[in-house]
Amino acid sequence: MSPIETAETAPEPASKIDLPAHLGGGGGEIPSFDITLRVRRFDPETSAESTWEDFAMTMYGTDRVLDALHKVKWEQDGSLSFRRSCAHGVCGSDAMRINGRNRLACKTLLKDLDTSKPITVEPIKGLPVEKDLIVDMEPFFQSYREIMPFLINTGHEPAKERLQSAEERERFDDTTKCILCAACTSSCPVFWTDGQYFGPAAIVNAHRFIFDSRDDAGDLRLEILNDKEGVWRCRTTFNCSEACPRGIQVTQAIAEVKQAILSRKI
Amino acid sequence: MSNDTIAAPRSAHTPQYKRHKTGRASFEMMAWLFMRLSGVVLVVLIFGHLFVNLMLGQGIHAIDFGFVAGKWSSPFWQVWDLLMLWLAMLHGTNGVRTIINDYAERNGTRMTLKTVLYIAAAVIIVLGTLVIFTFDPCPAGAVTDLPSFCPVP
């Protein structure tokens, strides 16, 4: 008998810690439930109108909305289109409107939603829909590019890394968490009106550099955001802060940029 | 065959990203700042106005033509009411301007609505200012319908 075979056939050693049943120590069944997934379908090749389509399935307590979408695509209707890359809340590809709120499908557990009613899944609003849950992100990234989301330093290039104190890093820590999923910008009623507003995501990423002690182009970015379509269009409705799957205090970041422009101009 | 081009998908509507620099540098910033400052001042002015008119003395029962005439004979209340008129009108006009900018979809509609708004605001501000400063409860030459406190000609 080879060592590998031994490892495969020998029973696992008993756990040294016995968890009581109420803490899940029994390793029992994962609860399952039946859900209806109501997806907003749009196929520009067949119809100019989008329609609701229901999918019924049995899912488990550990499943997320993304798993339900996968189940539809892999087992029921392969034509369902949506974006997802990492599927673990880091890449920001699968922001969608679930039960009327912008969230990441990969971070929303089905058991946290009301499974007695159909779970609605729509594309995020304010951006042109290309197919089903896929929207054209170009307007979003255009305003992101416009705020110059990269380090600009006019001094001499140091031989080693650019040093920064813990306090200086803390100043913009919150806004470094952005994953560019567009949940904030596509939840903003001002962005919905005409799509010309820079949007919370662009301002958050400008904030990340404006308050970075190593960056020298803060004035330039503040000038860009002092535009007619810049920070002054923000009405502090807090939709963005509520929508952010990373918990960034978006409205606060926008307010800090407003303050910075004011204190610079006056 | 594979050389065939695939037609672009027909999106419901494609908002063109057409942001452009406007000449009015910092106008939106000043407008934003004005809304905050005028709002704070208006809270004081309006509640002061309501308290003096409705609560002090005989309260609401004292309000009549003579009460208003009496108030406007004092430069203090002239300035108070003038400030209230200008700040409230500009504050409200700027608010509606913002709403029009948000919700009017076509440039023509936006221009028309804003023109109407600015004319209306200008007329009310000019008329109100004129009334506050030229108000005369006992115009010379009038004989009938004069309030009782006017000197009998």
CATH 3.10.20.30, chain A: domain bounds: 32-135
Those residues whose C-beta lies under 8 Å from the C-beta of residue A34, and which sit 6 or more positions away, are A56, A57, A58, A59, A115
Structure tokens at A196: 């010309």
User: A232 to chain B, minimum CA–CA distance in Å?
Assistant: 6
Does B141 map to a domain? Answer: no
Q: Is B26 on the interface with A (CB under 8 A)?
A: yes
The CATH architecture to which A138-152+169-265 belongs is: Orthogonal Bundle (1.10)
CA angle at residue A80 from A78 to A86, to 5 degrees? 95
Grade residue B4 by pLDDT with cuts at 50, 70 and 90: low
Name the domain count of chain B: 1
Structure tokens at A192: 């919905």
B85-135: per-residue pLDDT in tens? Answer: 999 999 999 999 999 998 888 889 999 999 999 999 999 999 999 999 888
Q: Is A242 on the interface with B (CB under 8 A)?
A: no
The ranges of chain A with pLDDT < 70 are 1-10, 15, 17-28
Does B2 map to a domain? Answer: no
Grade residue B137 by pLDDT with cuts at 50, 70 and 90: confident
Neighbours of A194 (CB within 10 A): 17
DSSP, res A12: P
CA–CA dist A181, A95 (Å, integer) = 6
pLDDT of B11 strictly over 50: no
Looking at the partner chain, which of A44, A193, A228 has a beta carbon nearest the beta carbon of B11?
Answer: A44
Does B116 map to a domain? Answer: yes
Tell me, what amino acid is at A13?
P
**In this structure, which topology does domain A32-135 adopt according to CATH?**
Ubiquitin-like (UB roll) (3.10.20)
pLDDT, residue A30, reads: 82
Q: Which CATH number characterizes residue B121's domain? A: 1.20.1300.10
For residue B37, the enclosing domain spans 28-134
Do A126 and A195 meet the contact criterion of CB atoms below 8 Å apart?
yes
pLDDT, residue B12, reads: 46
- Please give the ipTM for the structure prediction: 0.77
If one compares B36 and B143, the residue with the highest pLDDT of the two is: B36
Does B77 map to a domain? Answer: yes
Helix (H/G/I), strand (E/B), else coil: B79 = helix
Does B44 map to a domain? Answer: yes
Q: Is B103 on the interface with A (CB under 8 A)?
A: yes
CATH 1.10.1060.10, chain A: domain bounds: 138-152+169-265
